[in-house]
Amino acid sequence: MNRQFLWIGGLLFLLGCRRSAPPLPTGTSATVDGSAPVQRTVASSPWFIRVPEAGGFNFHHSSGKAGQFQLPEMETGGVGLIDFDQDGWMDVVCIDGGSLDPHHPAPPNHRLYRNLGHWKFADVTEAAGLRCPDGYGMGCAIGDFDGDGWPDLYITQWGGNRLYRNNRNGTFTDVTSQAGVAVHSWSTSAAFIDYDGDGRLDLAVVNYIRWTPEREMPCFSAGGQRDYCSPLNYSAPAPMTLFHNRGDGTFADSTEKAGLTQAYGNGFGIATGDFDHDGRLDMYIANDATPNQLWMNRGQGKFVDEALLRGCALNSVGVPRAGMGVVASDLFENGWLDLYVTHLVGEGNGLFVNQSGNFMDGITPDGPMAGSLSYTGFGVAFGDFDNDGIPDLYVANGRVRLGGKVWSTLDAYAEPNTLRRGLGDGKFTEIQPQGGTEPPLIGTSRGLVVGDLDNDGRLDLIVINRDGPADMLRNNTPSDRSWIGFDIRDRNHREARNAVVRIQAGGRQQWQQFQPNQGYCSSQDPRLHFGLGTAVTVEQVWVRWPDGTSEEFGPQIPGAYRVLQQGSGRTDSTRFSW
Amino acid sequence: MPAVVPAFLQRFGKHPRLAASVLATFLAAGALWLAIHVSSPPPPVVHPAAGLKLDRQLESYLAGLISEVERNPSDPNRRKSLGLAYAANGLWSEARETFLGLETMIPQQPLAPMYAAVALQELTDEAGAWREFVQVTARFPTFAPGWYRVGEAALRRGDPTNAEQAFQRLIALAPLEWRGPAGLGELRLHQGRFAEAQSLLEKAVHIDYSAKSAHYLLGQVYRNLGRTNEARFALDLGSAENRLPMPDDWAEEAPSHLRLLPDQLAQADELAQRGQPEQAVQLLRRALVFHGEQPALLNQLAVACNRAGKPEEALDYVNRALKADPASVASHVTRALVHARRGQFEAGRLDAEEALRLAPCLTQAHLALAELWLGQDNDRKAVSALETALHCDPKNAEIHVELGDILWHNLGEKGSAMDHYQTALSIHPALARAWTRLGQLQWEVGDGAAARRTLQQLILVAPAGSERSELEATLRSP
């Protein structure tokens, strides 16, 4: 969301300077014929089919926009998958905006849809006690903060976040006040993590800017039409918030103690993982138009921002980009978590390749960022949609400022979403029809979740579109490929967040980290899913638990979701090595 | 012509071949003249797209430029200005059409097709822009900015072969342009050829020490070479808000065409910060004609007037801004500073406090409060306000320097001042002003060796800056 006009010295205006060149790896081939180097694959049939509203999923997002161009209206709209009733079907939480108009106040209309199976859904918001009385909705994070085995729900908002404890009977209780996790800022993404290894899920909350309606100001698009401002106009970046779980249903604000007020930007996305393999959980914050942070966990509850030195604060030439969504994923199957960040149109999405704990902002003609310059990316997720054993990439796009190619006469900010098929070793090819649907999905898309909504082993999608109906996309790829899924639990049957799972199947190894709270303001399917191609068995599964121990789980039969519980495997004789 | 031809033939009657040849040449020249002036009329004047609702000031400005072009359709300079005006105000389709038309008028000028390609790039047609940049270098192989564009585009496309060729050409054509070795150095960095990258990037910063992206790239090289301290320093020195392309002969004109309000506000702010507040005032008054009681504009005008030493005029503008938007925190902060300049410290404090009521952790309001307390010689309260500002913005190294200055010069607390300068440098190692202050303070407390070491650090940060001269002068003093 940066301005597009740049200046030098004595007001020397230089055209076409808003982009800066990301680097490239050794050995990429030259393309001199002028054709775009983006590879495309035309699928024989669309990978996804829209699920009709008749099935009961009928969420319609509202930003409450009233012509005042208030910035939160442009960023709202997260989504989460939660099996809140533990019936084995992923239910859906959709986050609405609400209204910022003081003359027409309205609470956000967040919705909870119970998955009845077979693509039938029921809106159970009121029955579940999830009516949100106030605030302006942004996103959500789902996690079992009280360790009772039932997932709880944290909703991020402007004007006060909400924590809903799962009552284990199909209802929730708002425990925000008792828990002490309101955050009266403008929160965006959040993640449940166990940063101190005490077995309890703490809560990391990303905050955007210190915004109030009084700080709003008129901004204009190219050509002079009234438009939304850049966050830079407000000069008010906000530090993130870290809550330490005391284990008694309450949290302590440990932000300052952890050192997290020492650096901050306009925070949008969070990805967590052990990025330097020191056995401690680190955090990466994607900031909008300000440098990103990489909070390296130094133990004893302390973090230090090393993003600049480690190469993931800025792009390759030292310029911040507009970070929106972010995921940590091992794209090169070497055990190191890479970072993929969605950005503003003209910047291109970015891949920070993890090279033993340091990062390189990389670009290749066939990388996951190829073809992204034309769009503003928000929601992002990797998932093996075609079960060929290699993760694919879906990005939910939608611009934040007027201008550029018009994709929709109804929504000037709308853009098509994009789908890229993974080819392995960090290479991807664009899937046609665009975004994997026919016709392409065009909207101002924000939140995105990937999950198996019908438990058929093929990953489906849900996309939240600003001021439009949400899209539920059913996976339509061939069903003849093999897969396996895992529910990762610690010794006490609690979610083992940030455990790393490595499998050996069909002569290949795959790595995944268990952390559903990533992307943009969204919470993914809390089960790990691996496509296996033609493999008929999973020969070996290793798990590196968050406490540093590792176990082997012997041959596994594909085609089902299985529980991997700490203590039930064999102690890894080879020691889980990265 | 009919009367001229027989006379012509009569004169050259003894030399029919020569006559025919001269006649042919004459006719060919005439045909060329006709081709230029009759058969190839100037390209049509590009108007803003139908239905485009333009800002009033921009619309009026463009109408004037269009009218000039229509009156002088064969004048390429006016066309160029119109194209730059479209580009400067984000109307890239119109800019592209204008530059393409200009290209037909001045086919020998490489900037027209290059700017048309830039417009295409801004319209997010990367592949099309790439093709056109390549064509520009094919047609104008000695045009250095064209090679720069090709090199940059090749890096973005992940195309090392073309990047290599383009930057090598750029180095050969423009040996004093830092972007050549920097581009090639970037390529080497990503090829893992760190020693070569280091050499190229050190050359780039030697050519222009203010080349931030070259420093940043060099920092990455140092990190890969295990030289962590140098890496940290170079990365900080190289962090920038943007990366600017290679300048060319048209670039300087473009800012004069900015007519969108946010750009004019930014332009005025830059002018004021560069010590030209009067020009900022002029620029904003021009905008005020079209934007009436627009609070952001009135506020910025007040800021500019205050900086230009016209606090009474500033007060008038900021009062109008607050009348239009009483809850504007920015305007309350501005009025606080205007009151400070007028010596009305109590009134100023009320405004700063109102801003803080509206936005409790507003750094600028705390800074304004500090300014007001300083005006009243209440250094302790000024320190307190700055400390609160730091609480809101702990990574702001400039505030640490301010605090250090007050603690040292006004309160004589040299130890605390030293701490603040060092904290500022731990946050922002490339902050030259902090090195200067630290060195001066070290000198004052009698630690000449430390001061000289500080000077060496400062020379690394700002080898040609005024901060260096300032510290050197201190170190020459008794």
CA B253 to chain centre: 13
Q: pLDDT over 70 for what percent of chain A? A: 92
**CA neighbor of B341 nearest in space, from B376, B311, B378, B371:** B311
Chain A: residue whose CA lies nearest to B239: A318
Each residue's pLDDT tens digit, B371-380 = 999 999 999 9
The residue among A404 and A70 whose pLDDT is bigger is: A70
Distance CA A13, CA B264 (A): 13
pLDDT band, very low/low/confident/very high, at A19 (cuts 50, 70, 90): very low
**CA neighbor of A108 nearest in space, from A164, A167, A160, A53:** A160
Q: Would the CB atoms of A14 and B327 count as touching at under 8 Å? A: no
List the single residue in B191, B270, B359 with the smallest CB-CB distance to A26: B191
Distance CA A367, CA A361 (A): 12
Q: Would the CB atoms of B255 and A222 count as touching at under 8 Å? A: no
Residue B98 pLDDT more than 90? yes
Instruction: Kindly state the average pLDDT of the residues B210-220.
Output: 96
Residue A3 contacts B where some CB pair is shorter than 8 Å: yes
Residue A373 contacts B where some CB pair is shorter than 8 Å: yes
Q: pLDDT over 70 for what percent of chain B? A: 92
Q: Would the CB atoms of A12 and B54 count as touching at under 8 Å? A: no
Contact B435, B458 (CB under 8 A): yes
Each residue's pLDDT tens digit, A50-90 = 999 989 999 999 999 989 999 999 999 999 999 999 999 99
Q: Would the CB atoms of A30 and B329 count as touching at under 8 Å? A: no
Q: Would the CB atoms of A319 and B213 count as touching at under 8 Å? A: yes
Contact A266, A208 (CB under 8 A): yes
pLDDT band, very low/low/confident/very high, at A215 (cuts 50, 70, 90): confident
Q: Would the CB atoms of A374 and B53 count as touching at under 8 Å? A: no
CA distance from start to end of chain A: 37
What's residue B7's pLDDT?
A: 46
Q: Would the CB atoms of A17 and B191 count as touching at under 8 Å? A: no
Q: Is B311 helix (H, G, I), strand (E, B) or coil?
A: helix
List the single residue in B158, B251, B266 with the smallest CB-CB distance to A24: B158
Q: Is B264 helix (H, G, I), strand (E, B) or coil?
A: helix
List the single residue in B190, B246, B261 with the smallest CB-CB distance to A26: B190
Residue B87 contacts A where some CB pair is shorter than 8 Å: yes
Chain length of chain A: 578
Distance CA A54, CA A121 (A): 9
Chain B: residue whose CA lies nearest to A224: B55
Q: Would the CB atoms of B127 and A25 count as touching at under 8 Å? A: no
Instruction: Kindly state the average pLDDT of the residues B217-237.
Output: 94
Q: Is B291 helix (H, G, I), strand (E, B) or coil?
A: helix
Residue A316 pLDDT more than 60? yes
Residue B61 pLDDT more than 50? yes
Give B360 to chain A, closest Cα distance, Å. Answer: 9
Chain B: residue whose CA lies nearest to A260: B394
Name the β-bridge partners of A302.
Answer: A299
Least reliable range by pLDDT among A25-34, A134-143, B139-148, B380-389: A25-34
What's residue B158's pLDDT?
A: 85
pLDDT band, very low/low/confident/very high, at A397 (cuts 50, 70, 90): very high
Distance CA B277, CA B281 (A): 6
Instruction: Kindly state the average pLDDT of the residues A495-513.
Output: 94
Distance CA B156, CA A20 (A): 8
Chain A: residue whose CA lies nearest to B56: A224
What's residue B24's pLDDT?
A: 66
Residue A421 pLDDT more than 90? yes
Each residue's pLDDT tens digit, B415-424 = 999 999 999 9
pLDDT band, very low/low/confident/very high, at A416 (cuts 50, 70, 90): very high
What's residue A267's pLDDT?
A: 98
Chosen from A1, A6, A14, A304 to mutate, greatest number of chain B CBs within 10 A: A14
Task: Give residues 387 to 406 of B whose Cβ lies within 8 Å of A.
Answer: 394-395
Q: Would the CB atoms of A15 and B87 count as touching at under 8 Å? A: yes
Q: Would the CB atoms of B394 and A221 count as touching at under 8 Å? A: no
Distance CA A127, CA A113 (A): 11
What's residue B21's pLDDT?
A: 64
Tokens of A160: 């006060």
Residue A39 contacts B where some CB pair is shorter than 8 Å: no
Residue A578 contacts B where some CB pair is shorter than 8 Å: no
Chain A: residue whose CA lies nearest to B134: A34
Instruction: Kindly state the average pLDDT of the residues A188-213.
Output: 95
Give B190 to chain A, closest Cα distance, Å. Answer: 5
pLDDT band, very low/low/confident/very high, at A39 (cuts 50, 70, 90): low
Amino acid, res. B402: E
Distance CA A184, CA A156 (A): 10
Give B19 to chain A, closest Cα distance, Å. Answer: 50
CA A45, A46, A47, A53 torsion: positive or negative? Answer: negative
Instruction: Kindly state the average pLDDT of the residues A301-320.
Output: 96
Q: Would the CB atoms of B261 and A220 count as touching at under 8 Å? A: yes
pLDDT band, very low/low/confident/very high, at B273 (cuts 50, 70, 90): confident
Residue B11 pLDDT more than 80? no
Distance CA B169, CA A555 (A): 58
DSSP E strand boundaries for B233-317: none
List the single residue in B127, B131, B239 with the smallest CB-CB distance to A318: B239
* Residue A232 DSSP label: G
Instruction: Kindly state the average pLDDT of the residues B143-165.
Output: 94
Residue B368 contacts A where some CB pair is shorter than 8 Å: no
What's residue B17's pLDDT?
A: 63
Give B159 to chain A, closest Cα distance, Å. Answer: 5
Instruction: Kindly state the average pLDDT of the residues B281-296.
Output: 91
What's residue B31's pLDDT?
A: 58
Residue A42 contacts B where some CB pair is shorter than 8 Å: no
Residue B462 contacts A where some CB pair is shorter than 8 Å: no
Q: Give B-chain residues touching A364 at CB under 8 angstroms.
A: 158
**CA neighbor of A328 nearest in space, from A578, A81, A518, A190:** A518
Least reliable range by pLDDT among A348-362, B19-33, B67-81, B189-203: B19-33
Instruction: State which of A115-129, B231-245, B321-335 shows the largest mean pLDDT.
Output: A115-129
Q: pLDDT over 90 for what percent of chain A? A: 79
Amino acid, res. B316: D
Determine whether B406 is exposed, middle or buried from the number of CB atoms within 10 Å of its CB (0-12, 13-18, 19+): buried
List the single residue in A17, A220, A262 with the smallest CB-CB distance to B245: A17
What's residue A28's pLDDT?
A: 31
The residue among B10 and B336 whose pLDDT is bigger is: B336
Q: Would the CB atoms of A8 and B244 count as touching at under 8 Å? A: yes
**Whole-angstrom Cα Rg for chain A:** 22
Least reliable range by pLDDT among A422-426, A510-514, B18-22: B18-22
What's residue A396's pLDDT?
A: 98
CA B66 to chain centre: 27
- Regarding pTM above 0.80, the answer is yes
Residue B277 pLDDT more than 90? yes
DSSP E strand boundaries for A43-106: 48-50, 79-82, 91-94
Give B107 to chain A, closest Cα distance, Å. Answer: 20
Q: Give B-chain residues touching A320 at CB under 8 angstroms.
A: 241
Q: Would the CB atoms of A5 and B266 count as touching at under 8 Å? A: yes
Residue B122 contacts A where some CB pair is shorter than 8 Å: yes
Task: Give the number of beta-carbon pairs within 8 Å between A and B.
Answer: 253
Residue A256 contacts B where some CB pair is shorter than 8 Å: no
Distance CA B386, CA B365 (A): 10
> Phi-psi region for residue B44, left (φ > 0), alpha (ψ -120 to 50) or beta?
beta
Q: Report chain B's mean pLDDT, rounded to a whole number.
A: 91
Least reliable range by pLDDT among A121-135, A208-222, B71-85: A208-222
Tokens of B323: 């009348």
Q: Would the CB atoms of A309 and B231 count as touching at under 8 Å? A: yes
Residue A304 contacts B where some CB pair is shorter than 8 Å: no
Residue A31 contacts B where some CB pair is shorter than 8 Å: yes
Distance CA A20, CA B182 (A): 13
Tokens of B168: 């090598």
Q: What is the dihedral of CA A150, A93, A326, A144, to 10 degrees?
A: -10
What's residue A14's pLDDT?
A: 35
* Residue B69 DSSP label: H
What's residue B39's pLDDT?
A: 54
Residue B404 pLDDT more than 80? yes
Helix or strand (DSSP H, E) at B236:
helix B228-238
DSSP E strand boundaries for A415-527: 415-416, 418-424, 427-432, 442-443, 445-451, 460-465, 471-475, 482-489, 500-505, 508-513, 522-523
Instruction: Kindly state the average pLDDT of the residues A83-105.
Output: 95
Instruction: Kindly state the average pLDDT of the residues B286-310.
Output: 92
Residue B64 pLDDT more than 60? yes
Q: Would the CB atoms of A291 and B239 count as touching at under 8 Å? A: yes
CA distance from start to end of chain B: 90
Q: pLDDT over 90 for what percent of chain B? A: 75
Instruction: Kindly state the average pLDDT of the residues B166-179.
Output: 98
Q: Would the CB atoms of A222 and B89 count as touching at under 8 Å? A: yes
Residue A409 contacts B where some CB pair is shorter than 8 Å: no
Residue keyed to tokens 């990805």: A271
Residue B478 pLDDT more than 60? yes
Residue B240 contacts A where some CB pair is shorter than 8 Å: yes
List the single residue in B161, B189, B395 with the smallest CB-CB distance to A263: B395
What's the complex ipTM?
A: 0.88
Residue A365 contacts B where some CB pair is shorter than 8 Å: yes
Instruction: Kindly state the average pLDDT of the residues B48-53.
Output: 85
What's residue B28's pLDDT?
A: 63
Q: Report chain A's mean pLDDT, rounded to a whole number.
A: 90
Give B1 to chain A, closest Cα distance, Å. Answer: 49
What's residue B126's pLDDT?
A: 85
What's residue A523's pLDDT?
A: 98
